Amino acid sequence: MGRMKFLCDAERCIECNGCVTACKNENEVPWGVNRRRVVTINDGVPGERSISVACMHCSDAPCMAVCPTDCFYKAEGGVVLHDKDLCIGCGYCFFACPFGAPQFPNGPAAFGARGKMDKCTFCAGGPEETGSKEEFEKYGSNRLAEGKLPACAEMCSTKALLAGDSAVVSDIFRDRVVRRGKGLEAWGWMTAYGNDQKGDGK
């Protein structure tokens, strides 16, 4: 298995929130927690774009760096997971993550009422890897073990949300950009060079 990653094509995202719903249904995510959410940039103005955001399973994950109990670990394929039995609900990961991925549902905790941290698992389950009911209740489905994509990417009707091996995902997106035949705008963002058709910034 290669390095796994998510990529959202802003040119294709229609803000339907199908990915959000698919994640909640597949993993029975606790009320008040969204492991994935859709964010709109420049809402209501020309150049508005929407992207689907969740844990990006960073190569050098800041959540892992600040966790005092080392509850974060990397599974096969570079997927960043966490052990809820080690989590003390301190919230350091919440403040360290630039994507707002870790969230704390209500429930008993060592340091207050925030509960154990919850976040996107790339549909890779938890540390036990037993497929048990108890593991599902804590972490959700382990679709990767079944050879499936994360539910959010599989449900995306416009295929804006890509997930899987980084080399494959990059090839798919690169092909889309070439087919669009535009300049820097083809990458899905309005920039100072957005009207540049040659792609040379002139």
Write down the pLDDT at residue 155.
93
Could you tell me the CA-to-CA distances from 101 to 51, 91, 132, 159 in Å, in that order? Answer: 14, 12, 25, 22
Write down the pLDDT at residue 129.
66
113-129 burial: b if 16+ Cβ within 10 Å, else e: ebbbbbbbbbbbbbbee
Write down the pLDDT at residue 158.
95
120, 99, 34, 93: CA torsion to nearest 10: 70
Write down the pLDDT at residue 200.
47
Cα 197 to Cα 141: distance, rounded to the nearest angstrom: 44
Write down the pLDDT at residue 172.
94
* Neighbour-count burial of 165, counting CB atoms closer than 10 A to its CB (0-12 exposed, 13-18 middle, 19+ buried): middle
- H helical segments located in the chain: 18-27, 62-66, 92-96, 133-139, 151-155, 166-180
Helix/strand/coil (H/E/C) assignment for every residue in 139-177: HCCECHHHCCCCHHHHHCCCCCEEEEEHHHHHHHHHHHH
CA angle 122, 124, 126 (to 5 degrees): 120
Domain ranges within the chain, ordered by starting residue: 4-59+93-103+118-187
Write down the pLDDT at residue 45.
86
Cα 101 to Cα 118: distance, rounded to the nearest angstrom: 8
Fold of 4-59+93-103+118-187: Alpha-Beta Plaits (3.30.70)
Residue type, 110: A
Total-model pTM: 0.80
Write down the pLDDT at residue 192.
47
SS3 at position 54 = coil
Instruction: Return phi, psi of residue 185, to 5°.
Output: -60, -25
Report residues of the chain scoring pLDDT below 70: 1-2, 106-114, 129-130, 182-202
Write down the pLDDT at residue 47.
82
Write down the pLDDT at residue 202.
39
